[in-house]
Each structure stands twice: as C-alpha cells, then as structure tokens.
Amino acid sequence: MPTALITGASRGLGAAIARTLAPTHDLLLGGRPSSELDTLATQLEGSSTWPVELTDHEEMADAVDAIDSLDVLVHNAGVGSISTVEETPADEYRRIMEVNLIAVAELTRLLLPALREVGGHIVFINSGAGRNANPGWSAYAASKFALRAFADSLRAEEPGLRVTSVYPGRIDTDMQADIVAMEGGEYDGSRFLAPDTVAAAVAHAIATPADAHPTEIILRPTARR
C-alpha cells in the first residue's frame, strides 16, 4: 500500500485523518511521544509512530533519513493563540511561526526527494484564518497566510507533485474548546465541523485520480449535525 505521513496525529483532526486513511495507506503517525499516539498506532493496522519534535530540525532530519519514498504528506500539526496586536510580544509570533510555517517548510524540504520518487501528494491543513484575518488572531492568521503562500510556491516549483491546501472553518476538537474558553464563550461542539468531515475531504483529495490536481478545499460549518 502507499505510505502517508501525518503530523499532529495523536488526537483531534490528525487522528481522524489517520483513521480515514488507514484502510488505503500504511501510516507514519507523527507527534510528540504520548500514550495517545501509541494507542492509535496499535488500533490501526499498518501504522507506526513517528515521534518527532518538529521544531528540533536535527531530530527531524535524522527521522526523515530512513524514508526513501513517500506517497502522501499531511501537514496537520499546528498551534494557535488569541491576543490583540498590542498584547502579542515578538516571542509569540516566533513560537507560532516556528510550528505553523518553519517546521512545515523544513519537513517538506527534507522529504522532497522521497515525494518526488513516487510523484507524491502534500496536503496542508490551513484554516479559514489563512484567508481572512480577524481581530485577536494576528499571529495565527499571519502564520496561516504564510503557509498558504508557501504551498502556492511549492505547487509552482514542483509540477510533478500534487499540493492541496485545505481551509476548514472551526473544528470540534479539544483545541477548539480551549480557544472558545479563551474567547470567554460557552462551548457547543455541534456548531463546528466534525473532525471526520474534514478528514473525509482530505481523503477525497488524496483519492482524486491523477489527471486532476485538487489545489484548494474550503469547508465551512453549517451547524446542522
């Protein structure tokens, strides 16, 4: 079977993507070492953990060294925070950019030979914040706008690869619950996209026949589930 590497796979959307791709792919489950990551790997046949700290570039380079070919790379790992421009120090911009952009760019660079080997597919889990910036989201939105630009440049540079940016609205995850709490709201997950819904869109893009290039997918919640 083809092989897919998914970052941020231990829970939430990453775990949903892993479960959706498991029937058709051997999986490398990326994430910090954790019991959740180990449990998921035991549940999904053909899966193994890839416990790498993405901001440690030397560790990442060592982990990538054994990957000779790769069919799918899903960049799902990310961080976020909410604060006004006035309240956001430079270190917070650096922290978010390091995970949401720089680690993504470096992992992509390291894996390009393996992806080129099989004409692979790279999926970037972006955000609605990668298309529209709202008050309080300057650092996160800046990282996602930058991720969008990176994906567009990569697509133009690598015609032998497929590059898809996915822009989901808010997703019903633990991270979303934390965000709503920071906003001072009451959490109602039914208002948001189900992780399985977004995972299905990712799987659909990957399964698109080779004569088509799914470049962008935009998903918005309907609050009808």
**Tell me: the pLDDT tens digits for 111-152?**
999 999 999 999 999 999 999 999 999 999 999 999 999 999
pLDDT-derived band at 81, boundaries 50, 70, 90: confident
pLDDT in the model for residue 189: 67
Whether 9 shows a pLDDT value over 90: the answer reads: yes
Q: Do residues 150 and 105 make contact, with C-beta atoms less than 8 angstroms apart?
A: yes
Q: Do residues 199 and 20 make contact, with C-beta atoms less than 8 angstroms apart?
A: yes
Predicted TM-score (pTM) of this structure: 0.94
pLDDT in the model for residue 107: 98
Can you give 32-92 as a three-state secondary structure string?
CCCHHHHHHHHHCCCEEEEECCCCCHHHHHHHHCCCCCCCEEEECCCCCCCECCCCCCHHH
Q: Compute how many other C-beta atoms are within 10 angstroms of the C-beta atom of residue 90.
A: 8
Residue 167 annotated among the catalytic residues of the structure: no
The rounded distance, in Å, linking the Cα atoms of 102 and 94 is 10
Residue 185 neighbours by CB under 8 Å, 6+ apart? none
pLDDT in the model for residue 225: 67
Q: Do residues 163 and 124 make contact, with C-beta atoms less than 8 angstroms apart?
A: yes
Active-site pick, 93, 140, 167, 187:
140
Q: What totals of helices (H) and strands (E) does the chain contain, helices first? A: 8, 7
Q: Does 3-219 carry CATH code 3.40.50.720?
A: yes
The rounded distance, in Å, linking the Cα atoms of 76 and 50 is 14
**Tell me: the pLDDT tens digits for 164-184?**
999 998 888 777 767 777 777
What are 6's strand-pairing partners?
Answer: 29, 74
pLDDT in the model for residue 163: 98
19 three-class SS: helix
pLDDT in the model for residue 179: 78
